[in-house]
């Protein structure tokens, strides 16, 4: 019947995949039903079944959609979320695949086909019914792979050529956010990630700007450098706070005119690159310590500046991440466990929390994760686990209450045992824990804990 299959395959390198604009979980589509009103749906399931019928219906439980068409033949289609390589199904690299389960094709942007990966903006026609897959909203929300878009980061900023500076502690999601910004920016080039702290200072200039053959001992071949590798794309310079004053000067000169001159070369070449910087240290602190040039700081912060908060100051975010981990891994976390995690400092932030959850999932014998000995050490040496220089000092009474809670948790919530370890009476311990809960609620630090 002349139908064709449109090849939109997902490949291992997301940067060069057509699926950069692919429809993923939490995207929306508008269903224009023949002789009926429009309806908007959000993609929340891994699989949707679409059938042709005499009337329209939608079953929210089984995610089955019936579309009205002429004729007696019933045709079936499927919209399913396809897992990317070895990652979780609910991952920003996974994409929805539309395919016909019968002899009748569907029309994708006017072309008949039996199977294709769907991209944002695509239009699928089945009979006189139309499915429009929407572009992302102007203010992006929580991404499916656990990163949260700052409220002030609009679509206009993402698609602009403005440089972006991301500040945040280790594990807060700086790299993930940088990758998502590149993906949503619609730039045609690659996403290149360069961690500046992983190179010796003598090699960074070559890594950034490249070098010509024979520029120095060991330069047996020409090297393009990260800036030219990311031409028409995005260059993510991680750990920008580790750059020496000398290299700050050279990068500052590049930011003036975007002319790249390789080490040992005489001619420059212009690069159309979008720069995203990241720092794990407050840069104003580096200026005070004379480790960063003021003009370099002003240039880095002349575009969009984003600060990613830590987990210890956001217990609600910890809960959201735990619930999302449940959904992605088809397991259940007990309420007691989630509340315990909201009490922990998480100096490694999102990365540490997810690593810990993955460890618990592997060693667990069932589908429900509960509070056990694996979690108790998370509260040990709470003050030492935090970055003491950046952490707000506590009153002695609050430290005492924290320590009592730690001992109480290690004693498996046994008042008598914990009181014996602390050399106080059980009633005194109970009073301290109740006072601590009231203190935390009063200061909006955490939700209540069942004692």
The whole-number pLDDT of residue 446 equals: 42
For all residues of the chain together, what is the average pLDDT? 80
**Could you tell me if residue 183 is left (phi over 0), alpha (psi between -120 and 50 degrees) or otherwise beta?**
alpha
Q: What percent of the chain has pLDDT over 70?
A: 80
Mean pLDDT of 301-314: 88
Q: pLDDT of 70-88, one tens digit each? A: 775 789 999 998 876 655 5
- What is the predicted pLDDT for the residue at 150? 59
271 pLDDT higher than 70: yes
- Asked whether the predicted pLDDT for residue 130 surpasses 90, the reply is yes
Each residue's pLDDT tens digit, 151-180: 557 778 888 889 999 998 888 889 888 888
Of the listed ranges 99-113, 237-251, 280-294, the one predicted with least confidence: 280-294
Of the CATH numbers 2.40.110.10, 2.60.200.20, 3.20.20.370, 2.60.40.10, which one belongs to the domain with range 14-133? 2.60.200.20
Domain boundaries 155-308, corresponding CATH code: 3.40.50.300
Specify the domain boundaries for CATH 3.40.50.300 within the chain.
155-308
Which residue is listed with tokens 């089984």? 62
CATH 2.60.200.20 residue ranges for the chain = 14-133
Q: b vs e for 355-388, b when ≥16 Cβ sit within 10 Å of the residue's Cβ?
A: ebbeebeeeeeeeebebeeebeebbeebeebbee
pLDDT one-digit tens code per residue, 29-56: 889 988 888 888 888 888 999 999 888 8
Confidence grade of residue 296 (pLDDT, cut at 50, 70, 90): very high
């Amino acid at each position: 019947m002349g139908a064709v299959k449109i090849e939109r395959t997902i490949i291992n390198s997301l940067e060069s995949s057509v699926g950069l604009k692919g429809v993923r979980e939490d995207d929306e589509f508008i269903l224009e039903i023949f002789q009926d009103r429009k309806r908007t749906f959000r993609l929340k399931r891994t699989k949707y079944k679409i059938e042709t019928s005499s009337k329209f219906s939608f079953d929210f439980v089984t995610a089955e959609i019936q579309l009205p068409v002429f004729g007696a033949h019933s045709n079936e289609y499927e919209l399913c979320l396809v897992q990317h390589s070895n990652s979780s199904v609910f991952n920003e690299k996974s994409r929805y695949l539309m395919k016909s389960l019968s002899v009748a094709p569907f029309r994708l942007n006017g072309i008949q086909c039996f199977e294709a990966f769907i991209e944002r903006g695509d239009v699928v026609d089945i009979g006189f019914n139309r499915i429009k897959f929407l572009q992302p909203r102007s203010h992006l929300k929580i991404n499916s792979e656990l990163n949260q878009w700052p409220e002030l980061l609009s679509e206009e900023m993402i698609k602009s050529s403005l440089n972006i500076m991301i500040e945040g502690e280790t594990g807060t999601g700086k790299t993930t956010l940088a990758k998502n910004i590149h993906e949503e920016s619609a730039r045609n080039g690659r996403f290149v990630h360069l961690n500046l702290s992983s190179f010796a200072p003598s090699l960074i200039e070559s890594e950034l700007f490249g070098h010509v053959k024979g520029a120095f001992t060991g330069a047996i071949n020409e090297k393009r450098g990260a800036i030219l590798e990311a031409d028409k794309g995005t260059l993510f310079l991680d750990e920008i706070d580790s750059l020496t004053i000398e290299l700050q000067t050279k990068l500052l000169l590049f930011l003036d005119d975007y002319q790249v001159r390789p080490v040992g070369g005489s001619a420059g070449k212009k690069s159309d690159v979008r720069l995203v910087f990241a720092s794990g240290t407050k840069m104003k602190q580096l200026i005070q310590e004379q480790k960063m040039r003021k003009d370099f700081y002003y240039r880095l912060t002349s575009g969009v500046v984003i600060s990613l908060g830590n987990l210890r100051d956001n217990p609600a975010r910890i809960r959201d991440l735990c619930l999302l981990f449940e959904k992605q891994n088809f397991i259940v976390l007990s309420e007691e466990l989630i509340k315990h995690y909201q009490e922990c400092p998480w100096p490694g932030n999102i990365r540490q929390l997810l690593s810990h959850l993955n460890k618990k999932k592997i060693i667990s014998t069932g589908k429900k994760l509960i509070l056990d000995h694996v979690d108790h050490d998370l509260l040990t040496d709470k003050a030492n686990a935090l970055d003491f220089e950046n952490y707000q000092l506590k009153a002695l009474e609050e430290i005492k209450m924290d320590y009592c809670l730690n001992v109480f948790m290690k004693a498996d919530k046994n008042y008598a045992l914990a009181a014996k370890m602390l050399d106080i009476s059980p009633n005194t311990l109970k009073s301290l824990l109740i006072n601590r809960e009231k203190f935390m609620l009063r200061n909006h630090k955490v939700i209540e804990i069942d004692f």
